Structures are given as structure tokens and as C-alpha cells.
């Protein structure tokens, strides 16, 4: 069913997402890109998580031996600051997603008409999902260490695609409410400053609001209280450091 009032490019992506989430049996394995010691020429690496979905044909990642032939329905999750080097020597239709803190980037590639360097269609949309999308991306990043857990990974990716579909079906002009925007801004700031001695009062003062207003924002727009969110961010960062570096828990703390 078409969402009312969507521009042509946005409707195109809305139809793509409907085809994916309504036919989950067509979705296959989720592969994971990694962080190479050095970046080969032509590799793609950004600060945001990405997801490439093979809609038709064959696709590959030259940086990983087992990922050089991905077929229709398979997906490649690229965590933030991980890299991939696309293989496009065979016909492929590809949907590529970029998950930035405040927007969702969508690109459609069709190698029959253009290269994988130039999308046939591309849009950026305000990312209106709450903490659920952020939690799913964090979970997928951790699961990249256990890529064989497909019975956990695949339903998680499908849920993420449902969230993306909701964003894409949002008619333009539905501006993000100030409370939502402020909540997401605070969450992003906490993620960047998690190592600082954060308190409800200090963060509220930084954003020029009262501590009670801060608590109300997290109660209305989030899934946990402010202090719980700070603790959750710090634990997620600590797990990431422990997985990446050979440090003791005392050193991480």
C-alpha cells in the first residue's frame, strides 16, 4: 500500500522496504565487515554503521575471502569505522543503508545502468526512530564477533528493516517534534562524552534545561531513565574496548 504524499524517490524506497519486510523468507545470511589494519585503495569506510542488501544478482567484499560472492537476499553489515571493498564484476541490484545519528541514508545501485560508485537513486531522511534503532545497531556490532549466530542476527536485521520502513513511509513535512530532537541530541552527546563525570544536573545545565525536564524527556521519548542510559552507554563502550584490545577490566574502568 502506498503511503500518501510521498515524493517519487521516497516512494521507490518505500516499495523496496515493503518487498523486503513482507517477504522475510527471501532474506538470507548476514555477513559482517571488519576493520582492516590499513585501508586498500577503493575501500569504503565511514564513521556510521551501514547495511548492504543484495536485491538481485551477485555482490562481494574484496576484503574478506568468504564474502566475495554474496547472492540475492544476502546482506553485509558494516559497523562504524569498518571497511568493505565492493566487487561489481557481475550484474547486481543493491540497496545500501547508512545509519547516521539524525538521518537515514538510502542508495539504490543497478550495475546495468551505472557503477557502484554512482547510485541510480539516493535520498537522506530524518531518522525518527527512538532508542530501538540505536540498540539494534549496537547489538549487531557486538554480534559481528559471533557471525554464526544467524538465528539471532537475521530476526534482528529484519526488525531494523521494519524501523527503516517506518522512517521511509513518513510523509515529508512531518517535522521532528522539539522533544524528540532534544532527546536524540542529548543521547548523541552522552555517547560522545561518556568518559566525563556526567550527572543529571551537569547535562541539564549544558543543554540549558532543568534536571526535571531532562528526566521527563527520557521518560517520554526513551526506554530507560537518564542514569540508566548513561550506564548502558558506558557498558557498551567498555565491552567494545574489551573485545578490541587486550586490556584488563581495571584498565578499561
- Tell me: the pLDDT tens digits for 23-54? 999 999 999 999 888 888 889 998 889 999 99
| 49 vs 100: CA distance, rounded Å | 7
DSSP state of 36: -
Joined together, the cell numbers standing for residue 240 give: 567494545
Give pLDDT, residue 162: 94
In this prediction, residue 252 has a pLDDT band, given cuts at 50, 70 and 90, of very low
Residue 122 exposure: Cα atoms within 13 Å on the Cβ side: 11
Joined together, the cell numbers standing for residue 165 give: 520502513
| 82 vs 71: CA distance, rounded Å | 21
CA 208 to chain centre: 29
pTM, 2 dp = 0.71
- Which domains, from first to last, does the chain contain? 8-168 (no CATH), 178-252 (1.10.10.60)
Sign of CA dihedral 142, 146, 150, 152: negative
Give pLDDT, residue 107: 95
Q: Which residues pair with 126 in a beta bridge?
A: 103
Joined together, the cell numbers standing for residue 49 give: 554503521
Is the separation of the CB atoms in 108 and 122 below 8 Å? yes
| 6 vs 55: CA distance, rounded Å | 22
Would you say residue 253 has pLDDT above 50? no
Is the separation of the CB atoms in 180 and 129 below 8 Å? no
Is the separation of the CB atoms in 35 and 83 below 8 Å? yes
Q: Of 47, 152, 145, whose CA–CA distance to 105 is shortest?
A: 47
Alpha helices in the chain (DSSP H): 8-21, 131-143, 150-168, 178-192, 200-206, 211-221, 226-244, 249-252
First to last CA, the chain: 51
pLDDT tens digit sequence for 65-116: 999 999 999 999 999 999 999 987 889 999 999 998 778 999 999 988 877 7
| Pick from 15-19, 51-55, 125-129, 205-209: least confident | 125-129
Structural element, H or E, at residue 8: helix 8-21
Q: In terms of DSSP bridges, do strands 103-110 and 121-126 run parallel, antiparallel, or are they unpaired?
A: antiparallel
Higher pLDDT, residue 253 or 63: 63
Amino acid at each position: 500500500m502506498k503511503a500518501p504524499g510521498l515524493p517519487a524517490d521516497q516512494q521507490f524506497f518505500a516499495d523496496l522496504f515493503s518487498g523486503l519486510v513482507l517477504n522475510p523468507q527471501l532474506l538470507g545470511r548476514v555477513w559482517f565487515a571488519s576493520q582492516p589494519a590499513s585501508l586498500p585503495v577503493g575501500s569504503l569506510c565511514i564513521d556510521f554503521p551501514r547495511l548492504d542488501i543484495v536485491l538481485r544478482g551477485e555482490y562481494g567484499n574484496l576484503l574478506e575471502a568468504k564474502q566475495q560472492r554474496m547472492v540475492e537476499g544476502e546482506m553485509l553489515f558494516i559497523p562504524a569505522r569498518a571497511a568493505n571493498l565492493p566487487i561489481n564484476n557481475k550484474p547486481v541490484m543493491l540497496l545500501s543503508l547508512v545509519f547516521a545519528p539524525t538521518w537515514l541514508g538510502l542508495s539504490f545501485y543497478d550495475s546495468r545502468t551505472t557503477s557502484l560508485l554512482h547510485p541510480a537513486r539516493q535520498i537522506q531522511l530524518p531518522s525518527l526512530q527512538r532508542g530501538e534503532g540505536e540498540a539494534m545497531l549496537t547489538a549487531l556490532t557486538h554480534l559481528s564477533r559471533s557471525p554464526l549466530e544467524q538465528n539471532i542476527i537475521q530476526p534482528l536485521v529484519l526488525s531494523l528493516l521494519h524501523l527503516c520502513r517506518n522512517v521511509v513511509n513518513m510523509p515529508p513535512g512531518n517535522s521532528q517534534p522539539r522533544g524528540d530532537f532534544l532527546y536524540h541530541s542529548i543521547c548523541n552527546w552522552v555517547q560522545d562524552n561518556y568518559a566525563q563525570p556526567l550527572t543529571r544536573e551537569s547535562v541539564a545545565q549544558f543543554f540549558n534545561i532543568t534536571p526535571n525536564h531532562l528526566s521527563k524527556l527520557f521518560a517520554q521519548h526513551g526506554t530507560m531513565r537518564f542514569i540508566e542510559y548513561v550506564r548502558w552507554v558506558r557498558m557498551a563502550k567498555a565491552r567494545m574496548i574489551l573485545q578490541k584490545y587486550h586490556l584488563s577490566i581495571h584498565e578499561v574502568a
